[in-house]
Structures are given as structure tokens and as C-alpha cells.
Chain A
Amino acid sequence: MTAPPAERVFRTEGLTKVYDTGEVKVYALDGVDLELFAGELTVLLGPSGSGMPTLRIILGGLDHATDGRVWFRVLELTNLRDRGLTRYRRDHVGFVFQFYNLVPSLSARENVQLVTDVAPDPMRPEEALERVGLTHRMDHFPAQLSGGEQQRVAIARAVAKRPEILLSDEHTGALDSKTGIQVLDVLKQVNEDLGTSTVVITHAAEIRKMAHRVIWFQDGRIAQVDVNETRLAPAEIAW
């Protein structure tokens, strides 16, 4: 059993996000109070429309909340302007997307270089790709890579800046289970080797078994929080 680390990385108070389409208001987040800790691998679970992607967007500094407050360590993100949020993302946050979001006109190495060109203290692109086992594919373009390889490139790109936070949204959603396990393995290694606080959003409930904590979402609110006394390795998980 592994106790969650104590140093707090994220804190939210009454976090609310409303999407107003004019005809109807959608409460994607409805008063969420949340804490995430350094070095922790946290899985967010919930049905579609429960608000997890919205939480990722706000924690990632991609959008502002409608109400409530959010901190990254001592930095309050709530009212940071665009420039401040850009800086925050550049220096602290790594993203992994469901559909990889690789730039098709850049090779694997160059996709990682996109991040290392702007990050303050990055690792070399080659080192990042080596971590995900793609040294032999670093000069291939996305169209020449399998889905799993593309996702591993995306992870390499996310970790190349040595982020404190890694936000992953359904990163196995487009993969078969075998490849998905490989990717989860990489994620786990990154979390343990670099001490990166990792937030994984997923609809696949089994994946929760590899997390330190599991936060269940329902209708824009936290329904419950579970702490895993025992964590499984990705290879032991099936979905």
C-alpha cells in the first residue's frame, strides 16, 4: 500500500464552469473542491458529460472557470490572463490527448522538439523518445507510426519539458487494449521516474487500479474519492 504524497500541487474551491449556448446552460463543473498532490497518479473516472475533460482544461490553464478558484501550488490560476496561463503551461504542464495531436508535417523527434524549443529546462528530444522506447523511430512521421507509437511520441513530447503536471485525456481511447497497456506502462514509469503528478481521465474503470487515488465524477461534481491501498501494474489490468 502506498500512501499519497503530502505536498499539494493543485487546489480548487467551488470550481464551476458553465457553457452558455443561449438556449440552455450546461454546468460542466458545479462547485468542485479538489486537491491533487505531488508525485501522485490520480485517475478521474465518470460517465460522459460528468465534467472531467472540463476539469482537465481548467487545471491545464486552457480556459477560465466561471466561478470558484484554482491554485497551482501558490500560483492562483483563477484570474491569470492569457499570457500568464501560457507561461504556466509552458513551464509546468504536459498534455497527452486521446487522438495524439501530433503535427503531421513533423517527425517524431521534431514533434518533441516543438516542446524543447520553448521549455525552460527540457531534456533532449532523443532522451524523451528513448524513455518511451522509440529511439529507432524518431525520424519517422506520424503517418508512418502505429497508434501506440504515436501515443508514445505524444507522451515523450509531454514529458520532454520535465513537467510537474501531466494531464492525460483518454490516452488509450483510440488504442487496442494491448497497445493501451504499453502506453499505461510508459505513463507509470514517467510518474515514478520523474515524480510527475499525473492525472489520467478515462472511462475505462479498470485503469483506476493503477492509481494512487481515484476520483469519481458525476454531473459536474465529485461523487467520491477512493484511495488504493494496493496498486496494480498496467500488465495486470484488463479492460
Chain B
Amino acid sequence: MNALDRKLLRDFRRLWSQFLAISLVLAAGVAVLLMSFGMSGALENTRATYYERNRFADIFVDVNRAPNTMLEIIRDIDGIAAIAPRVTTYATLDIPAKIDATVAHVVSFPENGPVLNQPTLRLGNWPDATATDAVVLNAPFGEANDLWPGDTFTATLNGTKRTLTVTGWALSPEFIYAIGPGSLIPNDADFGIFWMPEQALAAALDRTGAFNNLAVKLRPGFAVDPVIEELDLLLEPYGGLGAIDRTEQVSNAFIDAEITQLETLAYTLPPIFLGITIFLVNMVMGRIVALERAEIGLLKALGYSDGAILMHYLLLAGLVGVVGVGLGYAAGSWLSFELAQLYAQFLKFPYLIYSVSWNIYVIAGLLGLIAAGTGAARAAWVAARLAPATAMSPPAPPRFTTSWVDRALHAARISQPTMMILRSVIRWPVRAGLSVLGMALAVGILVSSNFFPDALDVIIDTAFYQSNRQHAVLFFNDEVDERAVAEASRLPGVLQAEGQQVMTAVLQYAHRHKRTTIEARRPGMNLSRVVSTAGEVVDAPPGGIMLSERLAAQLNAAVGDVIEVRFLGVHQGTYMLPVTQLVTQYFGLGAYMDQATANRLFQQDPRVSVVNVTLDAAHATAFQQSLKDLPRLAGRAMLAENRAGFEDTISRNILITTTIYAVLGTLITVGVAYNGARIQLSERARELASLRILGFTRGEVGFVLVGEIMLLALLAQPLGWWIGWGVARMLTESYTSDLYAMPLVVSAATFSSASLIVLSAALVSVLIVRRRLDRIDLVSVMKTRE
């Protein structure tokens, strides 16, 4: 090994703590890149493979009741490769030793097995095609309820109670993310899927020779929209509810959202870390070159070329890059694996194809090395271009001039150590500014990551406490008359019952259209209310339709515009209705109309789709028991449980993410503050030692070092808050979807906790460096040349 390389390695070892601080920042960027691309890639690959192997459909449509004779006509639609007609319904289950009524989505299983959306058997056997009481459960539900092959339970199907026997467990690509009616997150114990022989289920639902659900597979290269249009046309007379493609299929849409979030993470966080790495490397390498001027001059005097010196300093930064990338690989691989475990809780894949592509590692590594090299480029270039004679003479002392600032400081009778701090900041504004920016970015990351709990608090309060004040929602398979409300009010424990009608429709304005549900509402409804983001309770004005602002924006419609409303399912007909009001909401793309208006349109007696009830907690068990006996009930949602489950899941996830972001923010702060302090110390060792010789105490001298860094840290706070607020705003816009809008709520506690973390990290870092100040050998410092 040649002498210059030996020098390189020893210099790297000597400055290990500074370089480690930088490497950790770089490692964080590499780790996040690996984790997010790795996980999004794993989800994409797993989903794609699963869909392909199990023939996941491209189009899904629910219909009230269509005869099997329609299937021949449907098969002839240009572009269709395969179709899978099915009979589906919801059922209320009575599981032994379980008090709460459980809901299941029931899907027919044809004699030769489904052509599309093929479930994978995990345990046991498929039931015989002629069996009338045998079912296969989706595996998570079976496991959560301890229902094994051979066990029995009771289900109410189409008003009739039946005892069913479990023959096996399966998983399906259609229900990777299985969420029950009225729920916000999956709950394997309370919502399940089961497959039942087609013959038996069709008979139970009076659908023999007919279907109420259709899955469609397209031939490669065919567009979805024309096929959907033809399907809707054909099925409309039979109560078609509008065909949807994969993007609107609940399970697939959720995975899409997860992948998008991971990719967003990959594109937003790593550039910040890489940018800070460049800044830190630039700061430290610049200082090293300044301190090693004489050595650089020596090397040039000895005949080393500019190129050799350039490479020497680039390689030094390269070592930082290698360490950072190595640590990032390790952390990223571990984080990816942990994240995969987390996803496994919610996503029911039969397998997870987790292999982070080697090119992600290569790209992450290259980006890390490029960041380190870019940071060192200027300093290395300066070193290479230093004229030998200039390099061997000491640099000119920094030039200070008197300005109005100095006169003002003098008039304020600022102490000399404080003057030293302020002059240093003013003399090197770019360096001070970059340090402030670095710490401000740390604050910004903490604010923008920690605002989620604040936003979720608002959403939960609006959704669960202000809008939905009922304790439970009872769902029916079909619309029922208002007697259901009276029946519900007579159930044990029910204090109040309110009916509500929900219809499916396609809204169209000009060339824009949107499929959504319309709630028919009575004025003064008390349990389920429409509450705006401003906290106002809003009733749908009569004679038209009230839209949520996001839905209106998608349609590009305003108050007064007349839109086309084409009802699907049970209610046929197309009507032109004026937009009577807009309401701003967090959840869903709401559309509402006055109940009396709906009754007039459909020329019907009042109907209900759901009944909202409030309960006396003392009779909760009796209430649950009574649900198992309701013949027309398709399911129920216990909002208190939903809320608790939602809060529990979210709070766990929030704890993980806020911890991760706190660590990342601390790493950045330590990187900036520690290196800044070390550089300060190396530049000012002589003057600080002079102060000690003149009689200043350790504390007074330490104040000069600590004071400058903490001043910059304080200046970083308002900038960091502003950055954090801006990033939070961008995040709310990126997270807004059809399902919910994220409010921009950043509490004072979020700002202050972010500042506390950054200021503490900065203080600890600079105090560690301050200890070196205490150990300076005053005499030897005085003896060496400037």
C-alpha cells in the first residue's frame, strides 16, 4: 500500500466520529430508499403473481338478479376472455362461545371450481358440489374464531338459520384486504368470507338459474371502459349497480394506495437525507482541506499531481460513502423485513415474494456514493488547484470589518464572547445559513411526520363523535320498509332507532361522471348526521341533491348546476337534479338528498337500507344475542368497537412511524450540530486557548462554542416549522383520496415536540465536543504555527 493511501486510512480513522455522524445520515437515506422501494416492489410482485396464478378478474359488477341466459350475450362482448357468474350475499353468523354477532360475505363456489378469482385452499377440502351445509372459510377468519375443518356454526341466510360445517380454509386474491360493511379497518374476528356450493347458495337466495355478481377477465390489450359500458347497458334492466374495474375493487384499491404511499416515501425522504449528506461532507471536507494546506503544499512540492490530490480527498469522502451505504444496506434490509411482517397482519397473501431487486441496492449505493463525492467535490477541487507556494504559506486571517451591526452590538454593550459568536455567524453567513437549514430540515421532518396524530384526532372526532353518534348500524341485504325501524327499536337495549336509505347511482355533469352512493335523509336526523369540516350540521335541502365539495370538484359542478343522476340496482331511472348545496367533509365522496324528494322520485313508500341505533350498555350482550335471530339482517357494525380498533391500530402504527422519524430527525441534527461544533473547535482552538490563558474559565470559553451552535439551532426553529407545515400540506394533498381527505392540523404540541427533540440533540452534540475543549493542551497550541 502506498504512503498516500496509508495517510488516507489513518485520517479516516482519526476523524471517525465526524464521519460516523455523516455516515449515519447517509445510511438513513439509503435505508428508507431500500425499505420503501423494496416493500413496494414486494407488494407489486406478490400481487401480480397472485393475480396471475389465481386469475384475478379485471371487471366486477353487482346486479340484483340476472338470468344465466344473459351469460351467452355477455361472453360475446368484444374483449372478454372469461366470465365467472356468482351468487353472493351477506350473512349473520352465530359462532359457538362467541357473544357478538359476526358478519360474513358469502360467495358461491361452482361445481368445477371458479374460473376467475380462484381461492387457494390452505387447509382441508372443498365441499362436494351437492352439499347444502358445507363451507370453506377464509383462513384469517377461521383462525381468529378457532373454526377448524369439522367445526360447525349457525348462519342466517336470506332470513333462514342454517347450521354449516367447515370443510376447509382458503385465501382469495379478491379479499387480500377484507373489510366489513361499516368498518374502517380489517377485523378478522368479526368479518369473514366463506365459499358455499353454488347450488345450495343459489337455492337459499332464490337465485337458481341466475346470478347477482359477475367477474370478467379481459383479453390482453383490450381497454376496460368500453366493456364496462356494454356490461352496464346489458345489466341495467336487471338492477345492475354499475361495473367497476380493479382500481375501484376495495382490496386492490387498498394495495394500490399502500404502494403509492411507499413510493411517495421513497421519493420524498431520501433526497432530504442525501442533500444533508452532501452539505455535511462539503462542510467537513472543506475544513480538512483548510487545515491540511501545508500538507497539500508538501505533496505538491514532492511532485504529486493535482489529479492525485483530487483523488485523495474524493477517496476520503468515498470511505464515508461506503460506510454510510453499508450501514444503510443493513438497516434498510432489516426495516424492509419488519415492514413486511407488519403488512402480513393486514394483507392476506398466501405467500410474500420478498426479494429486493439487486438493482435497487445498486441504485441506492450509487446514489450514496455520488452524494458523498458531490459533497467533497468542491473541497477536493480547491485542494487540487491550490498553488504549491500558496498552500505552503499560512492562509490570510479572515477579514473582519466594522459595520452598523457592530456599532449596534457595541452600543448594546454585548460581552466579548457573545460578540465573537455573533461576528462568526455574520462573517460566514453561507456556512451559518446552511447549518440553520440543515437543522430546520430536521425540525421539518419531525413536524410533517407528527402532524398525522393531530389530523387523525380531527377525523376520528368528526367521524365517530359528531357525524355518527349511533352505537351500532344494522345492515340489510335488500331495502326494507320502515317497519324494520320499529322492529329494531324493540330489540333489547335499544334506546333510539333511526332508518336511513342508501342508493347507488352514477352522477354525470358534462363529460365527467362518478359512481357513488346517495343517502336519502330526513331533516333533523339525530344519530347519523352530515357534519361539515367547520363543525356545522347540514341537512339536504329538498328538491335536489347535496354534494360533498370533493365530489363536486370531480364533477366540476357547482351549486345551481343541474346534473344527471342515474340510479342503479333496485331503483331504476335517470333524473336531472339541481345541486342545492355543497358540504366540506373528511370522509367519502358524499351525496345526499332529502327523503321526501327521493320518495317522490321513486313514487315509493319510505324505505330503509340501514337502521342506526343507540344502546344501553347494560344490555349489550342481550342486544348482540338478539341480532343472531334477525332474519333480514345482513350485518352490523358496532361503532365503539370500530373506533377502538381503528384507534388501536393507528396508534400502534403512529408510534412506530413517529419513533422512526424522531430517530431520523435526531440523526440529521447530530450530524449537523456535531460536525459544526468540531469544525468550530478546530478553527478556533488557538483563539479559545488564548482566552483560557487570558483567564477565562472553561465555562466562559465553552460558551463561545456552545453559544454559536445553539444560536443557529434556535434560528432554525421557525424555518423548520414553516418547512414542516409546508411538507404536511403537501402530504395532506397527496393522501387525499376518494375515501377520505386529510385535514391540515398541526398542533402547538407537534411544533414544540419537534423543536424540543432538535434542540436537545443539538445541545448534547455540542456538549460532547465541548469536552474536547477542556482537554486542549494550552501550551502546545500556543507553540504551533497559526
Name A residues whose Cβ lies closer than 8 Å to a Cβ of B: 57, 60-63, 82-83, 86-87, 89-91, 93, 95, 97, 99, 101, 103, 105-106, 110-111, 113-115, 117-119, 157, 161
The reply to whether the CB of B299 lies closer than 8 angstroms to some CB of chain A is yes
The answer to whether residues A114 and B299 also contact, given A86-B305, A101-B294, A105-B7 and a CB cut-off of 8 A, is: yes
| Chain A residues in 8 Å Cβ range of B387 | 62-63
**Per-position 1/0 for B1-44, Cβ under 8 A of A:** 01110110011001000000000000000000000000000000
The reply to whether the CB of B389 lies closer than 8 angstroms to some CB of chain A is yes
The reply to whether the CB of B562 lies closer than 8 angstroms to some CB of chain A is no
Q: Is the CB of B301 within 8 A of A82?
A: no
Q: Is the CB of B7 within 8 A of A106?
A: yes
| Chain B residues in 8 Å Cβ range of A62 | 297, 300-301, 387-389, 392
| Chain B residues in 8 Å Cβ range of A82 | 306
The reply to whether the CB of B303 lies closer than 8 angstroms to some CB of chain A is yes
Closest approach, in angstroms, between the C-beta of B300 and any C-beta of chain A? 7
The answer to whether residues A89 and B3 also contact, given A62-B392, A101-B295 and a CB cut-off of 8 A, is: no
Cα–Cα, bound, A99→B11 (Å): 21
Cα–Cα, bound, A229→B556 (Å): 106
Closest approach, in angstroms, between the C-beta of A237 and any C-beta of chain B? 27
**Per-position 1/0 for B276-312, Cβ under 8 A of A:** 0000000000000000001101111111111010000
Closest approach, in angstroms, between the C-beta of A196 and any C-beta of chain B? 16
The reply to whether the CB of B413 lies closer than 8 angstroms to some CB of chain A is no
Closest approach, in angstroms, between the C-beta of A60 and any C-beta of chain B? 7
Q: Which residues in window 747-786 of B have CB below 8 A to A?
A: 785
A-B contact pairs, 15 of them (CB 8 A): A62-B388, A62-B389, A86-B303, A89-B302, A90-B304, A95-B298, A99-B785, A101-B392, A105-B7, A106-B3, A111-B3, A114-B299, A114-B302, A118-B302, A161-B303
| Chain B residues in 8 Å Cβ range of A118 | 302-304, 308
Closest approach, in angstroms, between the C-beta of B19 and any C-beta of chain A? 15
Central interface residue in B6, B306, B308, by most chain A CB within 10 Å = B6
Cα–Cα, bound, A115→B2 (Å): 10
Q: Is the CB of B7 within 8 A of A117?
A: no
Interface size on B, residues (CB 8 A): 26
Q: Is the CB of A87 within 8 A of B303?
A: yes
| Chain B residues in 8 Å Cβ range of A113 | 2-3
| Chain B residues in 8 Å Cβ range of A95 | 298, 301-302
The answer to whether residues A117 and B301 also contact, given A101-B294, A103-B295 and a CB cut-off of 8 A, is: no
Q: Is the CB of A103 within 8 A of B298?
A: yes
**Per-position 1/0 for B640-677, Cβ under 8 A of A:** 00000000000000000000000000000000000000
Q: Which residues in window 294-349 of B have CB below 8 A to A?
A: 294-295, 297-306, 308
Additional A-B contacts beyond A87-B303, A105-B14, A106-B6 (6; CB < 8 A): A86-B305, A90-B303, A101-B295, A114-B4, A118-B303, A118-B304
Q: Is the CB of A110 within 8 A of B11?
A: no
Q: Is the CB of B392 within 8 A of A117?
A: no
Q: Is the CB of A103 within 8 A of B7?
A: yes
Closest approach, in angstroms, between the C-beta of A156 and any C-beta of chain B? 13
Cα–Cα, bound, A62→B304 (Å): 12
Closest approach, in angstroms, between the C-beta of B10 and any C-beta of chain A? 4
| Chain B residues in 8 Å Cβ range of A63 | 387-389
